[in-house]
Amino acid sequence: MAVAAALSRALDSDLWWSFRRSPVTILSAVVALVCILGAALSPWLAPHDPFDLATLNLGDAFKPPSWSAEGDLLYPLGTDDQGRDMLSAIMYGARISLLVGVSAVVFSILVGVGIGLLAGYLGGVTDGVLMRIADIQLTFPSILIALLVDGVVRAALPRELHDRIALFVVIFAIGISAWPQFARTVRGSTLVERNKEYVLAARVIGISQLRIMLTHVLPNVVGPVLVIATLGLSSAIITEATLSFLGVGVPPTQPSLGTLIRIGNDFLFSGEWWITIFPGAALIAMVLSVNLLGDWLRDALNPRLR
């Protein structure tokens, strides 16, 4: 009963209304869903296991896509230099890309929301210092920050330890590069709430101010944080792909889309374009659809914009 009521309220909302009215948004939601499901369920959906060396057949290497003359229906998008099925490799790669992207965004939300609350709540010097750091960091592109963090961690850790936790290092580096935006939004909202009367009243009657603020601030920032997170997801995926393309991202044993593109790049000139282009297309589809959803969400949640 309650579920039905919630559902009917959701279907009646402005958000749903603007969603249904925009064919581009519906299309990007579908594409995003296909990408996410294909990636998440790759161990069950992919036609081959690209990591199972036993099934690799070097005789099948460099097969073009199935629709070209020398193509093989067994490998719909062709194979790479090892005879790996591209479609499967892409699905597994997208899984890594998505995993890193989502984890990094979650990480930066935690850091950003925490710092934003702290800065807004404490005010004064703490606020000044934290926001100044955020400002300085914001002047540099996030890719540079992520590269630096990655480089520093790489230099600080012994090599085998780094290899073992490389995936977490990348998540950490990307996450760190994106926290200031969340912090700023949350801080602004916290400042507004802090001066409202109920917070002062809470102090008078002895309830923890922090606690009452949390319960009031957090609902207010859900919208903006969601928008930044959606757009942040696409940029986290891009950053991860870029790091991996540069060879300093995820470890080669867990190739992401960026790794696949880097490997394929070597074969661009010998005519095996599909080894690069298909992972690239998958990356674009994923990022573009998430971006479009983010744009739509931003406009739908902000009535001032049309």
Partner 1 sequence: MAAFILSRILQAIPVMLVVALFSFAMFAYVGDPVAIMLGQDFTEAQRVQLVHDLGLDQPFFVQFATFVGHALQGDFGLSYRLSRPVAELIAERAPATLELAFCAALVALLVGVPMGVYTGLYRNSWLSRAFLTFSLIGVSLPTFLIGILLILVFSVWLGWLPSFGRGDVVQLGWWSTGLLTLSGLKALILPSITLGMFQLTLIMRLVRAEMLEVLRTDYIKFARARGLSNRAINFGHALKNTLVPVITIAGLQLGGIIAFAIVTETVFQWPGMGLLFIQSVGAADIPVMAAYLLLIALVFVTINLVVDLLYYLVDPRLRIGRGAAGGH
Contact footprint for partner 1 (CB under 8 A): 133, 136, 139-141, 143-144, 147-148, 150-152, 154-156, 234, 238, 241-242, 245-248, 261, 265, 268-269, 271, 273, 276-277, 280, 283-284, 287-288, 291-292, 295
- Rounded CA gap, 191 and 189, in Å? 5
Residue 306: partners with Cβ closer than 8 Å, 6 or more residues away: 299
As measured in angstroms, the least distance from the Cβ of 302 to partner 1 is 13
Six token digits for residue 265: 């790049």
- Of 199 and 261, CB closest to partner 1: 261
- Rounded CA gap, 245 and 250, in Å? 9
As measured in angstroms, the least distance from the Cβ of 196 to partner 1 is 29
As measured in angstroms, the least distance from the Cβ of 206 to partner 1 is 40
- Of 147 and 225, CB closest to partner 1: 147
**What SS3 class is residue 79?**
strand
Going through 15-131 in order, the beta strands assigned E by DSSP cover none
- Of 81 and 295, CB closest to partner 1: 295
Among 293, 270, 292, 267, smallest CA distance to 280 is for 267
Torsion (CA) 279, 269, 55, 164 in degrees, nearest 10? -60
- Of 8 and 265, CB closest to partner 1: 265
- Of 2 and 159, CB closest to partner 1: 159
Residue 60 near residue 79 (C-beta atoms within 8 A)? yes
As measured in angstroms, the least distance from the Cβ of 134 to partner 1 is 12
As measured in angstroms, the least distance from the Cβ of 174 to partner 1 is 13
- Of 217 and 287, CB closest to partner 1: 287
As measured in angstroms, the least distance from the Cβ of 102 to partner 1 is 18
270 exposed, middle or buried (CB, 10 Å; 0-12, 13-18, 19+)?
exposed
Among 246, 266, 273, smallest CA distance to 258 is for 246
